[in-house]
Structure 1
Amino acid sequence: AIPYFGKALVEWVWGGFAVDNATLNRFYAFHFVLPFILAAVSCLHILCLHQTGSNNPLGLNSNTDKIPFHWFYSVKDMLGFMVMLLLLMMVIMFFPYLLSEPDNFLPA
């Protein structure tokens, strides 16, 4: 599908001429490691954005419009987490069989 180097690229990705156990192991390892790589890149991106600030093409100082991230958004996120945890606990305590398998109630 890719001219000139498509066949070589497929053989390099597969690790041979066909999909084999080594190919599956490589793809499984890639599938396992990729979320950690994405999390690290996201943290690096947020760190760089926090250090330099976002794009400011006009060059205006907008520090007066900013609010502190840590206390405002941290408390806001914790409040949302607590509300969702409370809703989950209410479902678990008041309707314990709501999410269970119906086959569990069939007589043996």
Structure 2
Amino acid sequence: GFSVDNPTLTRFFALHFLLPFAIVGLTLVHLTFLHDTGSNNPTGVPSDCDKIPFHPYYTVKDILGFALMISLLVSMALFSPNLLGDPENFTPANPLVTPPHIK
């Protein structure tokens, strides 16, 4: 019969380890070709003088947005950790009763 054994798990692990690197490589190739040939011009602006350069304006904007979201999440985790927790954690443990999902 069918069984998941060591070779299957090894291949699955190798796939999940190598796939992000392949995706990053394809993304870099895509960006290289996109910036090499240029993309469509949806704004209709014929020259580069009216455009806003991506770096540093959008890069700084994205970094500030990520920093704001991370600081919000960290402050919630530090100052109000019960807000992010599972309500099941507040149920007192009974060592004499086995939980129903384990039986």
Q: Normalization by structure 2: what TM-score?
A: 0.64
**Runs of 5+ unmatched residues, structure 1:** 1-17
Deviations 1:57-78 (A, max 9, x none): xxx9432342211101111101
Partner of 1:64, secondary structure, is coil
| Cα drift, residue 100 of structure 1 | 3.0
| Cα drift, residue 34 of structure 1 | 1.0
Deviations 1:8-31 (A, max 9, x none): xxxxxxxxxx77643442233122
Counterpart among 2, 20, 25 of residue 40 in structure 1: 25
Partner of 1:67, secondary structure, is coil
C-alpha separation between the residues in 2 aligned to 1:47 and 1:104?
Answer: 52
Residue type at the aligned position of 2:78: M
Identical pairs, percent: 47
Counterpart among 90, 93, 96 of residue 75 in structure 2: 90
Mapping 1:14-53, distance limit 5 Å:
21-53=6-38
Deviations 1:67-108 (A, max 9, x none): 211101111101101210221122123312222343366266
In the superposition, relative to structure 1, how do residues 44 and 95 fare at CA in structure 2: closer, same or farther (>3 Å)?
same
Partner of 2:83, secondary structure, is coil
Question: Counterpart of 1:79?
Answer: 64
Which structure has more helix as a fraction of its residues?
1
Residue type at the aligned position of 1:91: M
CA RMSD between the two structures: 2.8
Question: Counterpart of 1:10?
Answer: none
Question: Counterpart of 2:98?
Answer: none
| Cα drift, residue 46 of structure 1 | 0.9
Partner of 1:54, secondary structure, is coil
Aligned length: 88
